[in-house]
Amino acid sequence: MTSRASIFLSRTVPPAGRALLEPEFSIREWTGDGFITREALLQGVVGANALIVHPPDRVDKLVLDAAGSQLKVISTMSVGLEHIDIAECRRRGISVGYTPGVLTETTAELTLALLLATSRRIKEGFKAVEKGMVGWQNGHWLCGKQINGCTVGIVGLGRIGLAVAKRLQPFGVAKFLYSGHSEKPGGTEIGATFVSFDELLRNSDFVVACCSMNEENKGLFNKDAFSKMKSDAIFINSSRGVLVNQEDLYDALKSGQIMAAGLDVTSPEPLPVDHQLKTLDNCVIFPHLGSATTDTRNVMAVTAAKNAIAGFKGQTLPSPVPL
């Protein structure tokens, strides 16, 4: 009797995706608390024909060696690919699939929630309620920043950046600016002005990072960038944690160089419990909830499963990473 193909899951896959995998593979998976450990990943992949992984599971030469030459496909439940050694996969002829386009709307919604929570000082408000609302009589107590009449700068007007801008339009944004490698058709759609990164920093009341990550923009938001922003500006990042020099961000927030920051992504994830950014009232940190709706996670799981199945069968992946 021929043994079934094997797939290893570095995290439990949502039901819609798992239902597709069960008829095709013998499933092995990590079910421990938190992210899979390095040791467990190296052990779990042994003999697998396919993998489904998630950031920050690091799939490098060691993992590929541990898996063995029968590994045909790696499917990641993410848009980001920085955790996978794409060049090594290419060299070995291993297909790689990802899940682009399915989390645009939910990430845009989350970005808006983060922007509102930060600008209206919701974190401080929660704390104030717990402490008896001391100072409530003061007319300036917990006054935040409104969106209406402001200039919003979006760094990276791709799918998510454009979706964020469209959701902000009904709030009465006075002007949209955006920066990137080139002008985008979406800029015309929302009446946005294409400007340099420096000009965006100098003139925006809200600076929203929506750009993809590459070697050029690691640490893009650093001391120099924060020094160019308005003193009452708010920085929002729902893209990648490595875009930000977090030491420089802490200094900018602590000194009052900028008003506040809202982060759905950090480096590392999760941040250590005692990380200095967590001590600041003017820094709102979400636990990477960008795609965290039941509908979106199920769609991501289905896409990841279809990629894994197609890759194992030697078929074209529905959502392949160009190798």
Question: Residue by residue, what is the 3-state secondary structure of 104-151?
Answer: HHHHHHHHHHHHHHHHCCHHHHHHHHHCCCCCCCCCCCCCCCCCCCCE
The terminus-to-terminus CA distance of the chain in angstroms comes to 35
Helix (H), strand (E) at residue 15: helix 15-21
Which member of 140, 181, 275, 288 is catalytic? 288
**Which among 28, 25, 22, 24 is positioned nearest to 9, based on CA atoms?**
28
Neighbour-count burial for 115-148, b at 16+ CB within 10 Å, e otherwise: bebbbbbbbbeeebeeeeeeeeeeeeeeebbebe
- Say if residues 200 and 214 touch (Cβ distance below 8 Å): no
Is 288 an annotated catalytic residue? yes
Catalytically active residues are 288
